[in-house]
Amino acid sequence: MTALAVGDGLRAGECSPPQRTGATLRTARGYASGKDDYLRRLRKIEGQVRGLQKMIEADTWCPDVVTQVASATRALQEVAVGLLSDPAPLCHAGRALLGCRR
C-alpha cells in the first residue's frame, strides 16, 4: 500500500512492510522462504470468511459482522503488502502499479 500520510514518517508513494508482532522473523524473503507463512495466513483468512458466512446465516448483529469483515480485509491487506515488499521478481510489477519507489 502506498503511504498517504506524512505524520507516520513516510512520504507519499513509499511502501513499508507491516509491523510484525509476535510473528516468526524470516531471514530471507520471497515465495521460497515465506511461502508457508503466506499460505498459513491465507488459511486463517479463509477461516475468518467462513465464520462471516455463518454469522450472516445466523443473523448476527450487524456491527459484529462489520467488525469481522474489517478484520478479514486488514488481514488480506497485510498479505498483499508483504508480497509487494518482498524482492521477488513477480512483485516488482505490483510495486510499480502502486507507485512505490525502491
Residue 7 has pLDDT above 60, yes or no: no
17: closest CA among 88, 90, 79, 98? 79
Residue 66: pLDDT band (50, 70, 90) is very high
Helices (H), 28-86: 31-57, 62-85
Rg (CA), the chain: 16
**In the block, which residue shows the cell 480485509?**
73
Does pLDDT of 4 surpass 90? no
On the question of pLDDT at 88 being above 70, the answer is no
Query: Looking at the domain covering 31-88, what would its CATH class be?
Result: mainly alpha
Q: Up-side HSE of residue 102: CA atoms within 13 Å toward CB? A: 19
Q: State mean pLDDT over 47-56.
A: 97
Distance CA 15, CA 4 (A): 10
Query: What cell numbers appear for 16 in the block?
Result: 513499508
- Tell me the pLDDT band of 27, cut-offs 50, 70 and 90: very low
What distance in Å separates the CA atoms of residue 98 and residue 81, rounded to the nearest whole number? Answer: 11
Q: Where are the domains of the chain?
A: 31-88
pTM as predicted: 0.57
